[in-house]
Amino acid sequence: MSSRQRVYPWLVALVTFLVLIASAAFRSSQGVMIVPIEEDLGWSRTVTSLAISVNLVIYGVTAPFAAALMERFGVRRIAIGALALLSLGTGLTAVMTASWQLVFLWGVLVGLGTGSTALVFGALVANRWFTKRRGLVVGIFGAAWATGQLAFLPLFARIIEHQGWRYASLTVAMLSAALIPVVAIVMRDRPSDVGLAPYGADAMPEVETNTSQSGWRAAAGALTILREAARTRAFWLLAITFAICGWTTNGIISSHFVPAMHDHGVTAATAASLLVIVGIFDIVGTVGSGWLTDRFDPRVLLGIYYGLRGVALIALPILIGPDIQPPLLLVMVLFGLDWVATVPPTVTLCREIYGVDRGAIVFGWVFASHMVGAAIAAAVSGWIRVSAGDYATAWWLAGILAFVAAALSLAIARPGQRSRIAA
């Protein structure tokens, strides 16, 4: 393997990592900007929660079609377009004057941008550019997408504290814009575009030339698989449990934890630091979950993960206060260990039940349900805060739903009782 063959795929992986980080940066900024935006512009929690909800819905619905868009228009073009939307949506937020503009900018523009750079983007790059070390690369991309959402929180909290929320929004915009020329120069759709084979491969694979309709055929195929999978009981159990996963992570923790701590007199910087603990232990939990999934029944693992998450959510309103006590730190560790730990067992069940190829597309739709669940949670939790004056009911509701997901996970058909959709 030549030196260029060894280096260039990792350079592409690095650029992909940075794109995922830019997407994660926006997800980090939302939670810490809610209260400053409301105080500055006089908007209610219902308005800001609506903007987050629209973002999550469009983000989730875009993800299943992202692979088809990349197949039709190319990975580099879609990545550049996504970064442009992300930069435009966050940059214009700094000059908005009406609440509908927040819904459009955060919800529509940024939703499309982040949806096009979801996990499917990293998976596609890893599959095309790597034969060896593919699992490692996917894990690195997953860490960028998940942990990156939490790692930026202290930075944005400090920017908002010293310079204001507009500077935090502009930081995301500039980061995204700065990556556009980098992607244009380095990223290519396939290794064969630069005369290389995938990393670890001896020869270039045969690549079918796309026709102008190939992307639309792929999109139609994704809808067909959704229609056929929706006829099976396993799909709905997977979709419902993963929707609850989204409800209990992105929907309430990512969106409302910092504002909830603010209600109890805790600064945004301190609350963000607690979420960094979640991000650190998320790496341990995700890698460990992958190892466990290879050895134990994924349904049982999901039951355990959701059950522990339910305990943490029920305990949270009891432990939140102006002083950070060790039990609250323990809850943050628990959140981290099962934050993305649900992904490996869910992906495995999709593959085992629906097959390798279709299972990947089915997971795309299950992932969409995750973001829809998160969107509903963001809106409902904001409404509860407005109507009740605090988040206690929202935490308890999320905890109960987590216990429901634990029970439903055990009801998914075992791999030996597959509900395969028609070939």
Determine, yes or no, domain membership for 89: yes
Indicate whether 60 belongs to any domain: yes
Identify whether residues 108 and 242 lie together within a single domain: no
Quote the CA–CA distance of 169 and 92 in Å, as a whole number: 9
Per-residue pLDDT for the chain (423 aa), expressed as one digit of tens each?
567 667 888 899 899 988 888 887 787 777 778 888 988 998 887 888 888 888 888 887 887 777 667 767 788 898 999 999 999 999 999 999 999 999 999 989 998 998 888 766 777 787 788 877 766 676 677 667 666 666 677 788 888 888 999 998 999 899 999 999 999 999 988 888 888 888 777 666 555 444 444 556 766 777 888 888 899 999 999 999 999 999 998 888 877 888 888 888 888 778 878 888 887 888 788 778 877 887 888 899 999 999 999 999 999 988 887 778 888 899 999 888 888 788 888 888 887 888 756 776 788 788 889 888 988 998 899 889 888 888 999 999 999 999 999 999 999 986 555 444 444
Residue with tokens 């945004």: 268
Q: Are residues 159 and 12 in the same domain?
A: yes
Q: What is the pLDDT of residue 81?
A: 92
Q: Identify the pLDDT of residue 147.
A: 66
Same domain, 173 and 285: no
Residues 276 and 408 reside in one and the same domain: yes
Residue 197 in domain = no
422, part of any domain = no
Residue 203 lies in a domain: no
Q: Does any domain span residue 202?
A: no
Position 115 in a domain: yes
In a shared domain, residues 43 and 112: yes
- Neighbouring residues of 178: CB distance < 8 A, sequence distance ≥ 6: none
Cα gap 386→46, rounded to integer Å? 7
- Does residue 408 share a domain with residue 314? yes
CATH number (domain holding residue 359): 1.20.1250.20
Identity of residue 332: M
Is the domain of 237 the same as that of 325? yes
What is the pLDDT, as a whole number, of residue 408? Answer: 96
Q: Could you tell me how far CA 364 lies from the centroid of its own chain?
A: 12
User: Of 190, 210, 235, which marks where a domain is finished?
Assistant: 190
Q: What is the value of pTM for the model shown?
A: 0.73
The pLDDT value given to residue 86: 92
Domain identity same for 305 and 388: yes
Nearest residue to 81 (alpha-carbon basis) of 183, 215, 12: 183
Based on the domain organization, do 409 and 338 belong to the same domain? yes
- C-alpha–C-alpha distance, residues 45 and 384, integer Å: 10
Give yes or no: residues 24 and 90 share one domain: yes
Is 299 in the same domain as 163? no
Query: For residue 1, how many other CB atoms are within 10 A of its CB?
Result: 12
Query: Does the CA dihedral 85-110-340-268 come out positive or negative?
Result: positive
Domain count across the chain: 2
197 vs 397: CA distance, rounded Å: 51
Its domain, for residue 119, covers 1-190
Domain end position, chosen among 169, 190, 211: 190
- Specify if 198 maps to a domain: no
Q: In sequence order, which residues have a C-beta less than 8 Å from that of residue 267 and are 6 or more positions away?
A: 157, 161
pLDDT at 23: 82
Tell me, what's the pLDDT at 421? 45
Q: At which of 150, 175, 190 does a domain end?
A: 190
SS (HEC) of the chain: CCHHHHHHHHHHHHHHHHHHHHHHHHHHHHHHHHHHHHHHHCCCHHHHHHHHHHHHHHHHHHHHHHHHHHHHHCHHHHHHHHHHHHHHHHHHHCCCCCHHHHHHHHHHHHHHHHHCCCHHHHHHHHHHHECCCHHHHHHHHHHHHHHHHHHCHHHHHHHHHHHCHHHHHHHHHHHHHHHHHHHHHHCCCCHHHHCCCCECCCCCCCCCCCCCCHHHHHHHHHHHHHHHHCCCHHHHHHHHHHHHHHHHHHHHHHHHHHHHHHHCCCCHHHHHHHHHHHHHHHHHHHHHHHHHHCCCCHHHHHHHHHHHHHHHHHHHHHHCCCCCCHHHHHHHHHHHHCCCCCHHHHHHHHHHHHCHHHHHHHHHHHHHHHHHHHHHHHHHHHHHHHHHCCCHHHHHHHHHHHHHHHHHHHCCCCHHHCCCCCC
Same-domain pairing of 182 and 287: no
